[in-house]
C-alpha cells in the first residue's frame, strides 16, 4: 500500500491511495482540493501510483468509479483507462450511502 499526499505550504491539497492484490494495481480515492483542480495534480498523483505499481511488477491498473462521478470518469479516460462492465456488490447498513 502506498499513500501519496500533495502539500502546498504545509496544507494537504491532494491524496491518492495505491493498493494491489499481486495481479492488479488499484487506484483508490484520488482527491484534490477544489482550489487545485484542473492543474494536473490528480494526473501527477495517479502517475506516481502507476510507477509504484510497475516497480512491483504490475502492468494492470484499475479503479472503481461510481456512475455519477463524471469528473473521475473524465480523468481516468484521459489517462488511458477503459471502462469495463462489472457488477459491484456492497453490504450497507444505511442504503442511502
d(CA 60, CA 5): 23
- Residue 4 corresponds to which cell in the numbers above? 501519496
Band (pLDDT 50/70/90 cuts) for residue 86 is confident
Q: What is the pLDDT of residue 90?
A: 87
* Structure confidence at residue 97 (pLDDT): 61
Q: How confident is the model at residue 88 (pLDDT cuts 50, 70, 90)?
A: confident
Tally of helices (H runs) and strands (E runs) in the chain:
2, 4
**Domains, the chain, ordered by start:** 2-78 (3.40.630.30)
Q: How confident is the model at residue 24 (pLDDT cuts 50, 70, 90)?
A: very high
Q: Which three cell numbers stand for residue 62?
A: 484499475
pTM over 0.85: yes
* Cβ neighbours of 61 (radius 10 Å): 20
Q: Give the helix/strand (H/E) hosting 76.
A: helix 70-78
Amino acid at each position: 500500500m502506498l499513500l501519496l499526499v500533495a502539500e502546498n505550504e504545509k496544507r494537504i491539497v491532494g491524496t491518492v491511495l495505491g493498493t494491489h492484490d499481486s495481479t492488479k494495481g488499484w487506484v483508490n480515492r484520488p482527491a484534490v482540493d477544489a482550489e487545485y483542480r484542473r492543474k494536473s495534480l490528480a494526473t501527477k498523483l495517479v502517475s506516481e501510483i502507476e510507477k509504484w505499481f510497475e516497480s512491483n511488477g504490475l502492468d494492470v491498473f484499475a479503479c472503481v468509479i461510481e456512475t455519477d462521478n463524471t469528473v473521475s470518469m473524465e480523468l481516468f479516460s484521459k489517462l488511458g483507462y477503459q471502462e469495463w462492465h462489472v457488477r459491484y456488490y456492497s453490504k450497507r447498513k444505511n442504503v442511502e450511502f
